[in-house]
Structure 1
Amino acid sequence: MNSFKLLILFVAGLFLSACTSTPLVELTKEPIPTNSAQSVEQAIIKGCQAKGWTPVVADNNTIDAYITVRSHKAHVQITYDDKFYNINYVDSTNLDYNNGKIHRNYNKWIYKLSASIQQQFGTRAQSY
């Protein structure tokens, strides 16, 4: 009987841990209401910093951004031109990434990051 209870608890634990996974969100073609590449770069950097991300200019029109929350880490790459920016997943630690699914908090962080970038452009953040 104790083995059966232990098995039930194990299966329930697996089920509950799977509930935190959601499809990975990658934001593409987020609009930029400006023409200056420098102001775009600065807006993205300031938007990252405002939400606790560490931005690193990687290349022309590419910024790598990193965040650590307790034992969880995420790395995204933000690419941009004069009309749009994209936020794409690169890597993570302790966010249970597997086959295009990730911990739901990652998606919340990405939406908040994008809203912060939009705020730096002086526009209202998109609702997701």
Structure 2
Amino acid sequence: MKFLKFIIAAVFVSLLFGCSGKYQQPQNFNTPVQGLTKQQVKNAILDSATKGRAAFGSWKLESINSNTIRGYLYNRKFEVVVNIPYSAKGYSINYVSVSDNLKDSRGNVHRNYNRWVNNLDAKIRENIFKAK
């Protein structure tokens, strides 16, 4: 009987921990780059915009000044906005905003935000590798 109580308690605790962590701090990515010009870094970032429909939504990227690109992700009813400042030495992906249905009252964002931005960062790094 004690063993059964232990198993039930373990299952209950694992359910509690499994349900936590839905909302997290928004991540910012800083990636150094070597051997490319500023224009090549910019092109690699702009080329990472998804063409057509992607599994996690469509990133739309536009240059807002000579050092920053703004990224918009529209995924069904969710919207994400990031700034991507860049130079010949590297780039960053910085949180700007998300739609209300992706954030909680403490300023945290849904974990999907971090996954989507991580996917964008991986695509940019892939394009930078191809440009070398």
- Work out which of the two has the higher radius of gyration on C-alpha atoms and give 1 or 2: 2
Q: Secondary structure at the match of 2:61?
A: strand
| Structure 2 partner of 1:54 | 60
> How is 1:34-53 mapped onto 2 (pairs within 5 angstroms)?
34-49=35-50, 52-53=58-59
> How is 1:84-95 mapped onto 2 (pairs within 5 angstroms)?
84-93=90-99, 94-95=101-102
> How is 1:1-128 mapped onto 2 (pairs within 5 angstroms)?
19-28=21-30, 30-49=31-50, 52-93=58-99, 94-122=101-129
Unaligned runs of 5+ in 2: 1-18
TM-score by length of 2: 0.72
TM-score by length of 1: 0.74
Q: Which amino acid aligns with 2:89?
A: K
Unaligned runs of 5+ in 1: 1-15, 124-128
> In structure 2, what is the Cα distance between the partners aligned to 1:88 and 1:39?
20
Q: After TM superposition, which residue ranges in structure 1, 4 or more long, deviate above 6 angstroms?
A: none
Q: Which amino acid aligns with 1:47?
A: S
